[in-house]
Amino acid sequence: MNSIFQGIWPAMFTPLDESGNPSLKEVEKLTDKLVTEGVPGLYILGSTGQGVLFSQAQREEVANVVLQTVAKRIPVMVQVGSMTSTESSALAKHAQKAGASAVSSVGPIYFGGGADMVLEHYRQIAESTDLPFFPYQLGNNSIQGNLESFIDELMKMPQVAGMKLTTTDLLTISAVHNHAGERLRLFSGADELLCHSTLCGTVGAIGSMYNFWWKECNYVRNAFMDGDFELGRSFMLEFQRLIFQFLPNVWTFFRQAMQHIYQIDIGPAVRPVGNTNKIWSEAELHRVLDQFQAAAQFNQPV
């Protein structure tokens, strides 16, 4: 089935200034760079984009800049999740007016209420626009109660087109796919399952590392799906080893990697995010980047 919702999408960083406010010039620069690199789509203002840490006005500004820069060249999915259903719905309406291709939202994970509360939150967002809606599963917090019943209720909403499954539980991914079939377009939200998740019914992946390693990851994922098991296996083992290694200082790694690869400064994370991260030495940074390149065996354009 042909769809604009497939392939590897960066969960785009939101460049910030030193005060923690969105740096709109850098947002525009990063957006244009990723589009030029050939990414098939962008997911903005999610966890990597630190969307929930911004005001509604800031999120609308970022969405405007991204969508104006993209200018319909590729689809853009805007994460509109918030503490309140009202604000999420308002952000979804703004995304549609600004030209987004879809909206996404995490559930109200900080409150009780079970499946009914989550589903009603999603329903209010989904019905606020005509855009395809992709609920965003974060760990085990967003699929509540019986999985099949939960998915059945989601599929009753005509706006729900798929899900972003940010989980390392492959059984959950395959269970959603086996129950929903082709009705839902599933994106893996865990970079460390780039290849694994294709075996569980995903049509794409949305992740942080694709901001600067999109071409390499796309090359390996395509090769794996075309039957190159050995490349997929060796790459994923090394990729997971590197992720485990830089997770304790991941936000400084993101910033320094983007500066090194694209000459774009995404700025510091919004505190308290990353406030214990240590600066990487040039030697350490280059070692990780070189090890990744060697694992990907990527030396040609995609």
| Token digits of residue 158 | 């005509």
pLDDT of residue 25 exceeding 50: yes
Task: Give me the residue label for tokens 């280059």.
Answer: 286
The predicted model gives 282-299 an average pLDDT of 91
- pLDDT band for position 141 (cuts 50, 70, 90): low
What is the pTM for the complete model shown?
0.95
Chain mean position to CA 112: 25
57-77 tens-digit pLDDT: 999 999 999 999 999 999 999
pLDDT of residue 301 exceeding 50: no
246-284 tens-digit pLDDT: 999 999 999 999 999 999 999 999 888 888 999 999 999
Write down all domains in the chain, each with its CATH number in brackets: 7-225 (3.20.20.70)
